[in-house]
């Protein structure tokens, strides 16, 4: 059993410019500011989106391309270390003009129309992702809560 303690450090708040790739923009901020442990939340709108669904039998992401405008009802995620560098893992819930909702793992190809992002950074022991053979995902190594 392992329980980790992390302490709040800083909060970043700002817009992501129109036309940006949402995942790349968040990743760039994390890398540039060296945010090694954090959580993020964002709302706004996109002109198109690419979201992933992890197929638990094939152990791979299936990509879903939404080629029209959508609201970002919620994008949330975390930042930890993968291969020694800040790595963003985020999920996103999107709605279309009918109010229908889609969601999934945020992937490259999601283009911002407008986006307000908040990132909270924490300090503490490194939180590292490593390949987990039972899921084929890069999960937090030895950080089970129970």
Please give the residue ranges that form the binding site for Zn ion (CB under 5 A).
105
105 versus 128: smaller Cβ distance to Zn ion: 105
Give the nearest distance from C-beta 113 to Zn ion in angstroms.
23
Contact 92, 72 (CB under 8 A): yes
CA-CA distance, 1 to 15, in Å (whole number)?
Answer: 39
Residue nearest to Zn ion (CB): 105
51 versus 117: smaller Cβ distance to Zn ion: 51
70 versus 105: smaller Cβ distance to Zn ion: 105
24 versus 69: smaller Cβ distance to Zn ion: 24
DSSP 106: E
Nearest one of 125, 94, 128, 130 to 109, comparing CA atoms: 94
Contact 77, 49 (CB under 8 A): no
Give the nearest distance from C-beta 105 to Zn ion in angstroms.
4
Cα separations in angstroms, 21 against 13, 59, 71, 113: 18, 25, 15, 10
Give the nearest distance from C-beta 89 to Zn ion in angstroms.
6
Give the nearest distance from C-beta 104 to Zn ion in angstroms.
8
Nearest one of 61, 62, 74 to 102, comparing CA atoms: 74
Tokens of 109: 């190809």
């Amino acid at each position: 059993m392992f329980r980790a303690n992390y302490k709040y450090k800083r909060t970043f708040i700002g817009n992501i410019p129109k036309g940006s790739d949402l995942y790349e923009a968040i990743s760039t901020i994390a890398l540039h500011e060296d945010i090694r442990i954090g959580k993020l939340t964002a709302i706004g709108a996109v002109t198109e989106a690419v979201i992933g669904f992890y197929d638990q039998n094939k152990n791979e992401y299936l990509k879903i391309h939404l080629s029209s405008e959508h609201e970002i009802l919620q994008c949330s995620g975390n930042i930890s270390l993968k291969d020694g560098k800040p790595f963003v893992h985020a999920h996103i819930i999107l709605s279309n003009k009918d109010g229908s909702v889609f969601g999934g793992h945020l992937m490259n190809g999601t283009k911002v129309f407008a986006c307000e992002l908040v990132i909270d950074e924490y300090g503490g022991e490194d939180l590292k992702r490593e390949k987990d053979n039972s899921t084929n995902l890069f999960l937090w190594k030895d950080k089970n809560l129970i």
